[in-house]
Every structure is written in structure tokens, then in C-alpha cells.
Amino acid sequence: MGSIADPGELTQPSFDEFQRQTSLMTSCTLLWKELSDHFTSLEQDLQKKFKAVKAKLETLDTETKHSLLVLENRETTINNSIEIALGKVKGNKEIAINSQNDTVPEPRVLEICGCSEEGIGYNENEMPVALGDCVDPARFVLEAISEVFPVDKREVKIKRVNDLGWACVLLLESLIPVMVDPILGSERMLVTPSVKERAKEIAETWKKSLEEMGGLRM
């Protein structure tokens, strides 16, 4: 007659298998949570990057539209500036020819600006109007300044000229409203590249002379 198996021996393997499966399920659950958190983090990062790229594209689109609009305005203002210049040339042609002997050459402009006697010199309000009648005001002012800076080239010095430095400043300040673009304003000044280069050379020479004298004294 066979022996009867111990109940403890029958339940032990089943309990061990149950523990093994429970441990496996716990590990799988933890791994799934870790992967879920990882992909959630990736999704959030991708959403942030997508929003950043979208914002940059919108900004680029806005800037592109603005640049195109500015270019269109510049094209219009260039045409307007040419028409204004041609109008001045045609309108002043006869006057310039008839009054050639009475025109003020560049070397005398600074002398007139610096005169202190009433009725002789130009003031801050009159000078921009006078420069506005020039075909090329910027070149006219540079020619005038170059007659006395960095070397005074005048053959005859007028004693009534009090301050050529003040006269130069007056000319430069009066030139600003004349050279401003009629539509874009100070965003674009109507100055030719050659005049810009010459003005830069004069400014560098002026700065160097001030440094040699120990700087600007107030």
C-alpha cells in the first residue's frame, strides 16, 4: 500500500510559482511605469520644441512681411526723391543761370554763418531752407567744411568771422532735416555713398585732432 503524500510538499511548488509570477508582474508594472513616464516626458519636450519652432516661424514671417513693406516704401521714396530733385533742378535752372554772379560759393558759406552783425548771418531757421535749394546739400556742406578743415584753404580771412567751429556745427545741424527721407523719415537718410565716405574721412580726422589736443574740453 503506497504512502500518502504530505500536503505541505504539494503546496510548496505552487506557492513558489505564485511568488515568482507576482515578482514578475511587479517588475513589469514598474518597467511599464518607467517607460510611460519617459515617453510622457519626450512628448512634453516635443510639444515645447514644436511651439518654439512655430513661434520662430511666425516671427520670421512677420519680419519678412515688414522687410518687404519697407523695400516697397523705399522704392517709392527713391522715385519720389528723384522727382523732387528733378523738379528742383528744372525750377531753379533759370534762376541759377541769371544769378550766377550772386550765388554764395562754398568757401564763403562758413563766413556768412559766423558773422555776428544783424542781417548778415544765417540763423538756425534760415539755413535749412537755404540748403534745401541745393541740388546736393550734403556735398555742398562737405565742400564748405573742407575749405577750413583740417587745413584752412581760404586765401582771404574775414576778420568778422567769430567762430568757424560754431558755423560748421550750424551747417551740419541744418543739413539733417534737409536730408531726411520724405516718407521713411530718419530711418533712411538721402546721402550718396561717395558723400558718406568723404564725411567719414573728415570725422576721423576731426576725432584724431581732438585726441592730439587732449580730448574735447567742456
- 149-208 pLDDT tens trace: 666 666 655 554 446 667 777 777 777 777 766 555 555 556 667 777 777 777 787 777
- Examine the pLDDT at 216 and tell me if it is beyond 60: no
Are 64 and 123 members of one domain?
no
Task: Look at residues 83, 102, 121 and tell me which one is the last residue of a structural domain.
Answer: 102
Q: Are 161 and 110 in contact (CB under 8 A)?
A: yes
Task: Tell me which residue has cell 505541505.
Answer: 8
35, part of any domain = yes
Greatest Cα-to-Cα distance within the chain, rounded to the nearest angstrom: 151
Do 120 and 82 share a domain, yes or no? no
Which 3 state secondary structure label does DSSP give 132? helix
For residue 124, tell me if it sits in a domain: yes
If pLDDT is split at 50, 70 and 90, which confidence band does 147 have? confident
In the chain, at which residue ranges do the beta strands (DSSP E only) sit? 180-181, 185-189
Residues 77 and 149 in one domain: no
Contact 40, 32 (CB under 8 A): no
Residue type, 146: S
Q: How many separate domains does the chain show?
A: 2
> Is 218 contained in some domain?
no
> Is residue 53 located within the same domain as residue 143?
no
Look up the domain containing 92 and give its range: 17-102
Q: DSSP 3-state assignment of 189? A: strand
| Same domain for 175 and 125 | yes
DSSP 3-state of 163: coil
Is pLDDT of 123 > 50?
A: yes
CA nearest 147: which of 131, 134, 161?
161
Confidence band for 54, pLDDT divided at 50, 70 and 90: very high
Can you tell me the distance from the alpha carbon of 180 to that of 191, in angstroms, rounded to the nearest whole number? Answer: 9
pTM: 0.40
Q: Quick check: 215 pLDDT over 80?
A: no
Q: Tell me, what's the pLDDT at 97? A: 44
